[in-house]
A = this chain, B = another copy of it.
Amino acid sequence: MDILPRGSLAPITRKLETLSALSDGERNAIAAMPIQVQDYPRGSNVISEGDHSTRCFALIEGFSCTVKLMLSGERQIIAFHIPGDMPDLHSLHHKIVDVGIQTITPCTVGFVRHEVVHDVCARYPRIATSFWRATLDEAAISRAWVTNFGQRKAPERLAHLACELLSRMQAVGLSDGQACRFPMTQTELADAIGMSPVHVNRSLQALRARGLISFKGQRLQVLNWPALKIFASFDPTYLHLNEKSD
């Protein structure tokens, strides 16, 4: 754990810039925030359910997910996070966190103390707005997941998730055409879409058989984007990707 050189905040600054335009002063204020960088191996808990939160973090490198653990031992994955995301911003106002955050791959995260964030928000209202918007973007994704669960069968659900992930990766410049890194195991996908791993496997085969997507070595490749969108009835409006505040 050490202090991050200014440059490493690039993913977060870039993310905030997508939310609203920043002045030089605002950019500097963000770059000046004291940040504690920490690496986590795959499968570790960055935040545990029930923790009392005093800081929040940005995902600098790697994939993580928000999870809810059941008494039965089952785990529900509620959201996936990609570099630049700030998955526990809500802890700024919800001190008792009701979900955990786990790493899916080895991750590098940057922690910032809540006082620091509150202070920056107080001095730069537009930054506060950006943080608020980041939490709203997340909320919109949760709503889309509710719809995904309620309205779609397994193959369509998986297809929709693939559409979402690729779109988000494209939005932060982490895609390679219509392909991107996709390190989730089938068991993790099962925990995310609320189905058994066996059924995930069969649904993925159905998607492959239709020539929509392919998975090889932790990569998702979309073979027929228009057809995939139609199959999943994917409408990216909910991601609010090209909509800045103010």
Contacts and interface: CB of A to CB of B under 8 A. Distances in A.
Interface of A: 66, 68, 70-71, 74, 76, 78-79, 90, 93-96, 98-99, 122, 125, 128-129, 132-133, 135-136, 138-140, 142-143, 145-147, 149-151, 191-194, 233, 237-238, 240, 243, 245
A76 B93 CA distance: 29
| 6 nearest A-B pairs in the assembled complex, by CB-CB distance | A150-B194, A139-B139, A149-B149, A142-B142, A98-B238, A76-B150
Contact of A139 (B90, B95, B150, B245): B90
Contact of A94 (B68, B145, B243): B243
Please state the number of chain copies in the assembly.
Answer: 2
Given A76-B151, A146-B142, A129 B93 contact: yes
Nearest to A77: B150
Given A142-B142, A146-B142, A147-B78, A237 B96 contact: yes
A146 B76 contact: yes
Nearest to A139: B139
Contacts of A125: 122
Contacts of A243: 94-96
B140 A143 contact: no
Nearest to A136: B90
A148 to B, nearest CB: 9
Contact of A146 (B78, B132, B240): B78
A245 B140 CA distance: 23
Most chain B CB atoms below 10 A, which of A138, A140, A150, A192: A150
Contacts of A142: 139, 142-143, 145-146
Nearest to A71: B233
A161 to B, nearest CB: 12
A60 to B, nearest CB: 23
